[in-house]
């Protein structure tokens, strides 16, 4: 890979240097890869009347249309266009697009040069998106991209402050063709850190995971918030000795201060003191996740970006207008590196509160830009987590964050159905909940109806109180790939 700036040096670069690097990388990527090798983007550029050499830097991106999830779904369901987002060089397109030196290297390099080209561009790995209501979208990786996945995996551990070579990592992500599991596995391989990947609830399960954790004494635990919390609660009940744990890394969902405190409490009961709990922000379409550096439970340093690997724009969701640093808006992502499935100006549907900051991180002092840790779903994009309940558009992920943040709640599930199961009746929002020991249900009921309506604009029609064991059953905590937090039983 031709990376000129190593990560530590990149973290010390000035904003000006990083932007110049992005401009140069983007211009080169469009000219030498995206336009010549992607059927989809060649069409997009031609239709927009933009020539590849017109893109000289990040500012020129605004001349091109956005790419949406709907674009990806449309291409995927058409056998003729299925691979239109995948970079597929041909002898003709290489001849037309590459500079002479690069072409000569290929021409005179013989079989090894051809093999290098094959490894750079031929997919050998795939992950899928995990949308709630749309078909999964495939994202292809080539051997070149797996090197990148290893690289960002190593950077992720670095930002989390895992510098101890004796670190032992317990990976609780579900074993699946999903980004989170694999980026974690590759991070372990790349850095040489010891890692046990249990495969999560469905593969090894919580009981066996705790048993083996007691034996390996992890210093780091990584996984999805719901399952990690479940494992820590079970560990506390035994109680298991997890006294070496210093850090918990959570992926895939928003993590609230309340949930962090509940986790830290459980870990405290297992002998682990002064634990740091950090979040990550990643999405299949970026083929990477970005991390928070260590901070206290109430603080969020923001997700540290890799400016050499991709550009984030922040836009006003309604107009598509590009916003400046620090302004709240939807994140739009353009990778600067990577083969296989390649995107440009991808609308994430995630609104970053406070946008992107370019000032040095007050916690770790790295200079790389950061995304504010508070993310919301944009209503412009048909975001999968947005749904109507009783006629009000609500954000399910905000409801989830509200519930998991509550100190009184052990486990919860949201059930959306029609009253009396009659399709012509009104929506019913049932909250199933297991309360923590000592919490009165009447107290909780009055608190929740008031506070929830204020926080997320909708309150449950009724609350079903259950034991933790019953909740684990309905959630499928040990039987499903991902626990079922939201059950929409309304007819489509
Ligand atoms: Zn930091």
User: Residue 59, SS3?
Assistant: helix
Q: How far is the CA of 5 from the centre of ligand 1 (A)?
A: 19
7 C-alpha vs ligand 1 centroid, how far in Å? 14
- Using a pLDDT cut of 70, give the percent of the chain over it: 97
Domain positions in the chain: 386-488
Per-residue pLDDT tens for 320-355?
Answer: 999 999 999 999 999 999 999 999 999 999 999 999
Work out the average pLDDT over 441-449: 93
Q: pLDDT at residue 384 above 60?
A: no
* pLDDT tops 70 at residue 319: yes
C-alpha distance from residue 374 to each of 5, 332, 433 (Å): 30, 16, 25
SS3 assignment for 123-142? CCEEEECCCCCCCCCEEEEC
CA of 61 to the centre of ligand 1 (A): 28
Task: Report the range of poorest mean pLDDT among 49-53, 390-394, 440-444, 468-472.
Answer: 390-394
Ligand 1 centroid from CA 123, angstroms:
34
Interval 406-415: pLDDT, tens: 999 999 999 9
> What is the CA(322)–ligand 1 centre distance, in A?
25
Q: Per the omega criterion (within 30 degrees of 0), is the bond before 239 cis? A: yes
Question: Can you state the angle between helices 143-159 and 179-191, rounded to 10 degrees?
Answer: 80
Is the pLDDT at 365 greater than 80, yes or no? Answer: yes
**What percentage of the chain reaches a pLDDT higher than 90?**
79
Read off the pLDDT of residues 248-297 as tens digits, 9 standing for 90 and up.
999 867 788 899 999 999 999 999 999 999 999 999 999 999 999 999 98
Cα(364) to centroid(ligand 1), Å = 4
- Which is it for the CA torsion 363, 171, 253, 351, positive or negative? positive
Q: Determine the distance separating the centroid of ligand 1 and the alpha carbon of 271, expressed in angstroms.
A: 27
Cα of 369 vs centre of ligand 1, distance in Å, is 10
CA of 181 to the centre of ligand 1 (A): 23
CA 289 – ligand 1 centroid, Å: 15
**pLDDT number for residue 383:** 45
307 Cα to the center of ligand 1, angstroms: 15
At 389, is the pLDDT very low, low, confident or very high (cuts 50, 70, 90)?
confident
CA 191 – ligand 1 centroid, Å:
20
How remote is the CA of residue 160 from the centroid of ligand 1, in Å? 9
DSSP one-letter string for 135-178:
---EEEE-HHHHHHHHHHHHHHHHHTT---TT-EEEE-S--SSS
Q: What is the mean pLDDT of residues 456-466?
A: 91
d(CA 94, CA 96) in angstroms, rounded, equals 5
Question: Mean pLDDT of all residues in the chain?
Answer: 92
Which residues, by Cβ under 5 Å, contact ligand 1, an ion?
A: 293, 301, 361, 363-364
pLDDT of amino acid 132: 60
pLDDT for 1 = 47
Quote the ligand 1 centre to 226 CA distance (angstroms).
25
Ligand 1 midpoint to CA 121 (Å): 34
Q: Is the pLDDT of residue 3 over 50?
A: yes
Q: How far is the CA of 371 from the centre of ligand 1 (A)?
A: 11
List of residues 6+ apart from 128 with CB closer than 8 A = 136, 137, 138, 139, 177, 178, 284
What is the spatial distance between Cα 103 and Cα 96, in angstroms, rounded to a whole number?
Answer: 10
Report CA(439)–ligand 1 centroid distance (Å).
37
Whole-number Å distance, alpha carbon 370 to ligand 1 midpoint, is: 8
Largest CA distance in the chain: 79
Task: Count the Cβ atoms, other than its own, within 10 Å of residue 66.
Answer: 17
Residue 377: the pLDDT is 74
Of residues 381, 387, 384, the one with CA closest to residue 320: 381
Question: Do 175 and 197 touch, CB atoms closer than 8 A?
Answer: yes
**How far does residue 255's CA lie from ligand 1's centre (Å)?**
17
Separation between Cα atoms, residue 178 and residue 309, nearest integer Å: 20
Distance 346 CA to ligand 1 centre (A): 25
Cα-based torsion angle of the residue sequence 20, 25, 31, 32 in order, rounded to the nearest 10 degrees:
150
Question: Can you read off the two tokens belonging to residue 283?
Answer: 């999405």
- Other Cβ atoms less than 10 A from the Cβ of 188: the count is 21
The alpha carbon of 491 and the centre of ligand 1 are apart by a number of angstroms equal to: 46
Ligand 1 centroid to residue 301 C-alpha, Å: 6
What is the whole-number distance in angstroms between the Cα of residue 381 and the centre of ligand 1? Answer: 30
69-95 pLDDT tens trace: 999 999 999 999 999 999 999 999 999
Task: Tell which residue, 142, 127, 46, has the closest CA to residue 86.
Answer: 142
pLDDT band at 439 (very low <50, low <70, confident <90, very high): very high
Cα 221 to ligand 1 centre (Å): 20
Question: What dotted CATH number matches 386-488?
Answer: 3.30.300.30
pLDDT band at 382 (very low <50, low <70, confident <90, very high): very low
Ligand 1 centre to CA of 159 (Å) is 7
Tell me, in angstroms, the distance from the centre of ligand 1 to residue 365's CA: 6
Res 103 pLDDT > 70:
yes
For residues 20 and 191, give the distance between their C-alpha atoms in angstroms, rounded to a whole number: 29
Question: 472 pLDDT exceeds 80?
Answer: yes
Q: How far is the CA of 8 from the centre of ligand 1 (A)?
A: 13
Query: Are the C-beta atoms of 416 and 461 separated by less than 8 Å?
Result: no
Ligand 1 geometric centre to CA of 290 (Å): 11
């Amino acid at each position: 890979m031709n990376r000129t700036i190593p990560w530590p040096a990149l973290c010390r670069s000035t904003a000006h240097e990083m932007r110049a690097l992005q401009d140069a990388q983007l211009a080169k990527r469009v000219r030498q890869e995206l336009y010549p090798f992607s059927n989809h983007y060649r069409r997009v550029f031609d239709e927009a009347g933009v020539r590849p050499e017109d893109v000289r830097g990040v500012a020129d991106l605004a001349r091109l249309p956005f790419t949406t999830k709907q674009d990806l779904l449309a291409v995927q369901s058409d056998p003729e266009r299925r691979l239109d987002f995948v970079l597929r060089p041909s002898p003709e397109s290489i001849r037309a697009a590459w500079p002479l030196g690069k072409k000569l290297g290929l021409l005179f390099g013989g079989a090894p040069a051809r093999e290098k080209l094959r490894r750079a561009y031929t997919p050998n790995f795939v992950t899928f998106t995990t949308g709630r209501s749309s078909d999964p979208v495939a994202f292809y990786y080539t051997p070149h991209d797996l090197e990148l996945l290893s690289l960002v995996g190593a950077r992720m551990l670095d930002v989390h402050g895992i510098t101890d070579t004796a670190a032992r990592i317990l990976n609780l992500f579900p074993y699946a063709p999903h980004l989170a599991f694999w980026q974690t596995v590759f991070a372990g391989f790349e850095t040489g850190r010891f890692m046990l990947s249990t495969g999560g609830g469905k593969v090894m399960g919580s009981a066996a995971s705790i048993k083996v954790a007691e034996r390996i004494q992890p210093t780091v635990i990584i996984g999805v918030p719901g399952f990690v919390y479940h494992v820590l609660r079970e560990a506390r009940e035994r109680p298991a000795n997890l006294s070496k744990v210093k850090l918990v890394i959570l992926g895939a969902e928003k993590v609230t201060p309340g949930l962090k405190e509940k986790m830290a409490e459980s870990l405290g009961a297992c002998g682990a003191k002064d634990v740091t709990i950090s979040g990550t922000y990643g999405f299949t379409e970026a083929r990477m996740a970005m991390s928070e550096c260590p901070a206290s439970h109430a603080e969020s340093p923001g997700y540290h970006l890799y400016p050499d690997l991709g550009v984030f724009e922040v836009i006003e969701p309604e107009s598509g207008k590009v916003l400046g640093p620090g302004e709240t808006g939807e994140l739009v992502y353009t990778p600067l590196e990577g083969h296989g499935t390649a995107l440009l100006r991808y609308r994430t549907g995630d609104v970053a509160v406070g946008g992107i900051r370019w000032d040095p991180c007050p916690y770790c002092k790295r200079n790389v830009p950061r995304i504010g840790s508070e993310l919301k779903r944009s209503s412009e994009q048909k975001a999968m987590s947005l749904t109507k309940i009783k006629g009000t558009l609500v954000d399910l992920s905000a409801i989830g964050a509200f519930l998991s943040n509550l100190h009184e709640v052990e486990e919860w599930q949201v059930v959306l159905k029609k009253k009396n199961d009659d399709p012509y009746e009104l929506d019913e929002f049932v909250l199933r909940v297991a309360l923590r020991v000592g919490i009165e249900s009447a107290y909780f009921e009055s608190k929740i109806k008031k506070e929830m309506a204020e926080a997320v604009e909708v309150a449950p029609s009724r609350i079903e109180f259950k034991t933790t064991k019953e909740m684990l059953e309905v959630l499928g905590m040990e039987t499903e790939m991902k626990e079922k937090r939201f059950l929409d039983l309304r007819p489509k």
